[in-house]
Amino acid sequence: MPGLDETLASVLVDRYTTNAARVHELAAPLANEQFWQQPFPYGNSFGHLVLHLTGNLNYYIGARIAKTGYVRDRPREFNDPNPPAKEEALKRLDDAVAMVVKTVRAQSPEDWSVEYSGAGTNAKIRLDMILPCASHMQHHIGQMIYLGYQWKRTGTSQK
C-alpha cells in the first residue's frame, strides 16, 4: 500500500496533467488569432492566460523549488506585444507542467514541509505552494471555458 507522500504525489501529478490536457482541449478550436484576441473589452485573451499559467508554474515551482533559474516577467504575461504562436505557447505550458511533474515526483516525505518563500505568496512550505498552483490553473481554466463559450456564441470559433 502506498504511503501518504506517494498518494499525494500521484494526485498532484494527475491534477496537473489533467489541467494541461483541458487547456489543450479548450484551445483546439481556436485559430491563432482568436487565441490572442480578447472577445470582451475587459479581461485577458486565452493565449495570455496560457502565458500567465506558464510563468506562474515556472516561477513558483520551477525557480523556487526545482531551482531552474527562471526569471519571471509577470506583466509581460498579460501584455506581450509579440506573443509566440499558439502552438509554441502551448508547448511552453507543457514544458512547465512536465517540470512540475518531475519536481512533484522528486519530493521525499520530508520535502513537502521544507520552508518555502516566493514573491506574492504567503506559502510557508512547499506543499502550500504546489497545491495552490494547481488550483490557480483550475481558476484560469474556468476563464478559458468562458472565453470558448463566447467565441462559439459569436460563431467565430474555428481553426
Q: Divide the 159 residues of the chain into consecutive groups of 10 and give the mean pLDDT of each group.
A: 85 98 97 93 94 98 98 94 95 98 97 97 98 97 95 68
The pTM for the full model equals 0.94
- Specify the pLDDT at position 136: 97
- What pLDDT is attached to residue 4? 82
Q: Where are the alpha helices (DSSP H) in the chain?
A: 4-27, 32-36, 46-57, 74-79, 86-106, 127-153
Q: What's the pLDDT at 3?
A: 85
pLDDT at 156: 60
Instruction: State residue 1's pLDDT score.
Output: 56
**What are the two backbone dihedrals, phi and then psi, of residue 71, each rounded to the nearest 5 degrees?**
-115, 120
The span from the CA of 8 to the CA of 125, in Å, is 15
Domains annotated on the chain, with CATH: 4-153 (1.20.120.450)
Kindly compute the dihedral angle of the four CA atoms of residues 62, 81, 40, 133, in this order, to the nearest 10 degrees: 0
